[in-house]
Amino acid sequence: MKIAVAFSGGVDSAVCVRLLQEQGHDVEAWHMLTLAAEPAPAVVALAEALGVPLRTVDLRADFEREVVAPFFADYAAGLTPNPCCRCNPRLKFGLLRQAINGPMATGHYVAKAHEPETGALTLRAASDAAKDQSYFLYALTRDDLADVVFPLADRTRAEVVSLARAWALPIPEARLASGSQDICFLPDGDYRPELRRRHPETDRPGDILSPEGRILGRHQGLANYTRGQRRGLGVATGGRAFVVAFDRARNTLTLGPREALLTRTFRVGPVNWLVPPTFPLACQAVTRYHHPPFDCLVHADGRVEAAEPQTLVTPGQACVFYRGPYLLGGGPILPEQSHD
């Protein structure tokens, strides 16, 4: 079969190419251009070493419109976004898939499967729990999963790295050893300088308050902080203090104890369901990548009731629902005052 691999030039996509070649497939490498007009020399060299044609799709304008600009707009609005949850359905499984117009493979650590209770086509968490990436794919549809292959579904990261070394693929050792999940358009991980450039209004200082309303210090713009943040606050409180609330009308943020972060009920929306739900739905939820799942009830209006109070419920992050290892669906966590 002729199959196209979504080819970043990293370890996972390179091993996908070689695994599919060993299975006898006619493989092409398809590379999304999101930040530069040409693929990096290392990407070209890796495709040549694998003996596959390298196709490129210029998605720079789409990447800016669909991923980068919304990322900074969300931060300016007081949310904490996850750009990978937008990039996957809109670009990799959207525009890139349209350009390929045929079977596609990706290096995601996830498996296609039918959810046992309903028989619906969905995703199953990868066997390597430390690398499972189903969380980032909650917004896919069953149509998106048609003709898609995940060669790394039942392999661990250690196995993939071992294969890359055994095949002597031209990948730097530092990249083989790294398991980081850095945001590709923020190589140093700091979003704040670009946020200030794009949204200068977010740089307006204001008061930092205690739970009783006492002024503790000054913040450097609300968008520079996230709910639950403890470090870099620049104030002394005499104990462990966390960002627990924002008041955008007054341009203040409030610090408090960890207990003030506990949330039992919150809302998610819009929710994309891969497995048709019956409400109220008893399942497990994950509100941050690699955060342990917790039992919950999901209602038709997107209201989620956690069995136990949770701390990592941050507006803008994804809440993804599972039944065991099977992905049911998910959506962004809404701000408390939202009635969308």
Please state which of the ranges 19-23, 64-68, 289-293, 295-299 shows the lowest mean pLDDT: 289-293
> What's residue 1's pLDDT?
87
pLDDT over threshold 90, residue 192: no
**Secondary structure letter of residue 274 according to DSSP:** S
Query: How far from 235 is each of 196, 239, 240, CA to CA, in Å?
Result: 22, 11, 11
Share of the chain above pLDDT 70, in %: 98
> Rounded CA gap, 41 and 64, in Å?
23
If one counts every other C-beta atom within 10 angstroms of the C-beta of residue 166, the result is 9
Task: Using pLDDT thresholds of 50, 70 and 90, give the confidence band for residue 337.
Answer: low
**Could you tell me what percent of the chain has a pLDDT over 90?**
76
pLDDT tens per residue, range 213-238 = 999 999 989 888 888 888 878 887 77
Contact 312, 288 (CB under 8 A): yes
Q: What is the mean pLDDT of residues 141-145?
A: 94
What pairing do the DSSP bridges indicate for beta strands 26-33 and 54-58? parallel
pTM of the model: 0.92
Report the DSSP beta bridge partners of residue 104. Answer: 4, 148
List active site positions: 87, 184
pLDDT(111) > 70? yes
What's the pLDDT tens digit per position in 32-78? Answer: 999 999 999 999 999 999 999 999 999 999 999 999 999 999 998 88
Within the chain, how many helices (H) and strands (E) appear? 10, 18
DSSP notation for 313-340 = --TTSEEEEEETTEEEEEEEBPPTT---
Residues 6+ apart with CB under 8 A from 102: 2, 3, 4, 147
Q: Is the pLDDT of residue 263 over 90?
A: yes
The predicted model gives 175-201 an average pLDDT of 83
Q: Torsions phi, psi of 65, nearest 5?
A: -70, -45
What CA–CA distances, in Å, run from 27 to 51, 104, 129, 176? 9, 10, 28, 23
Task: Report which residue type is found at 278.
Answer: T
What is the structure's pLDDT at 339?
35
Q: What is the mean pLDDT of residues 295-322?
A: 96
Look over the chain and give the mean of its residue pLDDT values, rounded to a whole number: 92
Instruction: Please name each of the domains of the chain with its CATH number.
Output: 2-107+151-177 (3.40.50.620), 204-260 (2.30.30.280), 263-332 (2.40.30.10)
Average pLDDT (137-151) is: 95
Q: What is the mean pLDDT of residues 148-160?
A: 94
Q: Does residue 340 register a pLDDT over 80?
A: no
- Could you say which DSSP state residue 67 is in? I
Structure confidence at residue 179 (pLDDT): 63
H or E element, residue 44:
helix 41-50
pLDDT at position 227 is 84
User: Encoding tokens for residue 7?
Assistant: 């080819």
* Distance (Å, whole) CA 137 – CA 147: 16
